[in-house]
Structure 1
Amino acid sequence: MTRKRAVVGFAALALAMSACSLNTGGTQEEDSKDLACGDVKLAYIGPLTGASQTFGTTAFDGVKLARKDFEKKNPDCKIAGIERFDTQGDPGQAPALTQKAVGNEDIVGVVGPGFSGEVKAALPILDEAGVPSITSSATNADLSKQGWKVFHRTVGNDDVETTGLVDYLVDDQEIKTVAVVDNGQAYGKGSADLFIGKIKKKGVKVVLNDSVDAANQDYSSTVIAVNAKKPDAVFCGCLYPEAGRIVKQLRSANSKATFVSPAGAYSPDFIKDAGASSAEGAYVSAASAPIGKFPGYEKFAAAWEKEYDTVPDVYSPEAYDAATAYLTAIKEGNRTRSSINTWLDKADFDGLSGRIRFSDGGDVDRDEVTIYRVEDGKFKVIAQVPVAS
């Protein structure tokens, strides 16, 4: 804890003792005014190592770049730092790591957690402690329906994403039958359930609904079941590690079905794991800024490549926007958890990923879904499907 925060805390304690039962209601705001930018920190909670680390490292890189850009423009407002809490993609590790973040009083906001299962495990702790959270990649539609007062996200949810994907598959690809596979996790299962409900309403027949263990390497039983049904398409509610293995094994078994997955499969590692020939023609959807197409992309990509010697990934802009929201709130004098959360609830600004304005549940309004297809070993934007708000 910083010296200034300790002094403020002592003064607040003395005031409380002298006033006995009197509650002035102004302590948080007074603390905020007395604290400097350099007295506070942010935190990132998500997968920085492990099988699905790409989503976490990309998000953390977005946060770091946002801080660098912001402090270059605002040299008089430099925060004390950004703490990292690596979940390894395991929701079971999220509660203990979240408790550590909450216990550090200098941390006034969290970017993350990265995955939907992690959010479900961590948000009750963050909400009780009043620590604001902005996830740039957790898309499970139910997360914004839990009544959490500190939950926010800069990415469209699975309900929006699945609506756009289903419209594209039915209206453009004329899919008539589909096999649905999920990884049994909060993100994958939730996405698959939404997909089934929406595509059935469009008159498409779901010929198979199967779950796999994300940790397994061999999905031969699922591949055999898929091939027996001969569907037009296979939807995989998965993250990129298992999605890569499944499509590779499907192609090895001579399946010609169109392979489709939500944004959890968007990663260069999906193509690498599947092999370029197996990944070719696969479709991935995302309710996020279209990589390579959004306004300001070229400048953002140049800065990203200069910093990291690679190109931005899906959700990179959303992570950048999440950090920018916090940094802007801090610059405007909000330096307590409570005052920052209040600022976020009223925020309304144009970010890289689109308009950042949070609903009562913490969602941002996204009315377009990007459809990518793997072509020549790279993800290419082939459609942007409008979705009614």
Structure 2
Amino acid sequence: MALSAVLALSAAACGGDDGGSGGDGNSVTIGFLGDLTGENSGIVIPPKQGAQLAIDEYNATNPKVKIVLKTYDSQGQPDQATSLVQSAIKSDNIVGLIGPAFSGESQQAVPVLEEGKIPNISASATNVTLGEKGWKYWHRVVGNDSMQGTGVAEFLVREAKAKKVFVAHDNEDYSKGLADYVTKGLKEKGVTVEQDVVDPRASDYSSTVNKAKAFKPDAIFYGGYYAQGGRLLKQLRENGVDALFASGDGSLDKGLIEGAGEKNAVNTVVSCPCLIDPTGESSPASKKFAEAYKAKYNSEPAIYAAEGYDAATAFIEAIKAGNTTTEAINEFLKTIDVPGVSKQIKFDDKGEPAGGDVYIYRVEGKELPLLGKASEAKLQ
């Protein structure tokens, strides 16, 4: 892990902020909430760093109202996220929140944000039901699991020629939701699917492995996070299950490869409704972002870094326009329509992003380079 990420972890573990307390008329405080020190923190640190980069760039222009980014480390635990949100509202007077990072903690913490009338923008929570709650202050800058599941299903049928797919998940909000949408998309294409559930707290997945082996699938899809995905992949390979292994955005981290072992991670792809573009080939804005991110953190942008930058940009645009109260910021977000790094920053009336694509990444050695959009990516 880059030194910068280690430093970020240290700051998050202390529950500190990056620049002092705000809300004195010359500054306002925006929170960032997510798993910053837990076993799946590798997919939350990048968006936190992306958000910090955007805010640092804004503050460097010496604006009338500066922004303080204060971090809250939920460790991915819904109960912890809820108590942190309560503290952020009552003690820190946040005017907005980037997060919650995960879907499970969003389900419990966002109602508290709604009650407090705090606008919130997640860079990474993808569960479909989050957009169906009728929440007035909730937004996200990433596509949901329905879009991702459809893209994965199409890719597996087209490129893996899959007729039988084994689908596993850990029964958490995000994991089950994504797995169910993948299953739905596969069945609509005539694919035979068998599902199984793993315990995310367990280390022995032999029951699931044996079921997968007996099913003899053309491909396996795991809905869940990389810590568990790596363990499952390792045990599948060690038991002779060599089918294409696919997973979703929760596994888009090198920790998947480290957990499985480089040899076992061969023939693995990961989907994400996010663009990781370290060379900045997709657009001039992406190139500028990638260069600035690498200069600040001495590492290339990783999963959801661009989305974290875009979520912060939405709040920055609101504050630049003179909106410093929670209600005024939330009203501004209803009409925002500006270019972002990952996509156009614009929300529909449910808080969903107005556009986006699903991308496929493939394990190559110790890396997860981009193959392309799910509708276009080729395995060969």
Q: 1:317, 1:352 within 8 Å by CA — same for their partners in 2?
A: yes
3-state SS of paired residue (2:362): strand
3-state SS of paired residue (2:360): strand
Shift of 1:78: 4.9
Structure 2, unmatched stretches of 5+, are 1-22
Match of 1:376 in 2: 365
For 2:135, give the aligned amino acid.
Answer: W
Match of 1:357 in 2: 346
Q: Are 1:190 and 2:198 counterparts?
A: no
For 1:165, give the aligned amino acid.
Answer: V
Q: State how far apart, in whole Å, the 2-side matches of 1:288 and 1:137 are.
A: 9
Q: State how far apart, in whole Å, the 2-side matches of 1:282 and 1:353 are.
A: 24
TM-score normalized by structure 2?
0.89
Match of 2:10 in 1: none
Q: 1:280, 1:377 within 8 Å by CA — same for their partners in 2?
A: no
Q: Are 1:327 and 2:316 counterparts?
A: yes
3-state SS of paired residue (2:66): coil
Match of 2:13 in 1: none
Q: State how far apart, in whole Å, the 1-side matches of 2:223 and 2:170 are.
A: 6
Aligned-residue CA RMSD (Å):
1.6
Of 12, 35, 56, the residue aligned with 1:47 is 35
For 2:299, give the aligned amino acid.
Answer: T
Report how many aligned residue pairs link the two structures.
Answer: 351
Match of 1:311 in 2: 300
Of 2, 5, 26, the residue aligned with 1:38 is 26
For 2:96, give the aligned amino acid.
Answer: G
Within 5 Å, give how 1:159-170 maps onto structure 2. 159-170=146-157
3-state SS of paired residue (2:264): helix
Match of 1:269 in 2: 255
Shift of 1:302: 2.2
Q: Which stretch of structure 1 is more off in the superposition, 265-274 or 146-155?
A: 265-274
3-state SS of paired residue (1:276): coil
Q: 1:347, 1:356 within 8 Å by CA — same for their partners in 2?
A: yes
Match of 1:138 in 2: 125
Q: Are 1:87 and 2:74 counterparts?
A: yes
Shift of 1:99: 0.5
Q: State how far apart, in whole Å, the 1-side matches of 2:365 and 2:255 are.
A: 15
Shift of 1:367: 4.4
Q: State how far apart, in whole Å, the 2-side matches of 1:363 and 1:133 are.
A: 12
Within 5 Å, give how 1:86-105 maps onto structure 2. 86-104=73-91
Percent identity between matched residues is 38
Counterparts in 2 of 1:104 and 1:225: CA distance versus 1, 3 Å = same
For 2:222, give the aligned amino acid.
Answer: C
Q: 2:43, 2:252 within 8 Å by CA — same for their partners in 1?
A: no
Match of 1:25 in 2: none
Q: Are 1:113 and 2:100 counterparts?
A: yes
Q: Are 1:246 and 2:229 counterparts?
A: no
Q: 1:368, 1:386 within 8 Å by CA — same for their partners in 2?
A: no
TM-score normalized by structure 1?
0.87
Shift of 1:290: 4.1
Q: State how far apart, in whole Å, the 2-side matches of 1:113 and 1:40 are.
A: 19
Within 5 Å, give how 1:67-78 maps onto structure 2. 67-72=55-60, 74-78=61-65
Q: State how far apart, in whole Å, the 2-side matches of 1:190 and 1:119 are.
A: 14
Match of 2:209 in 1: 223
Q: State how far apart, in whole Å, the 1-side matches of 2:360 and 2:100 are.
A: 25
Runs of 4+ in 1 over 6 A off after TM superposition: none
Match of 1:345 in 2: 334
3-state SS of paired residue (1:45): strand
Match of 1:18 in 2: none
Shift of 1:383: 2.6
Q: State how far apart, in whole Å, the 2-side matches of 1:121 and 1:360 are.
A: 21
Q: Which stretch of structure 1 is more off in the superposition, 91-100 or 129-138?
A: 91-100
Q: 1:37, 1:330 within 8 Å by CA — same for their partners in 2?
A: no
Higher helix residue share: 1
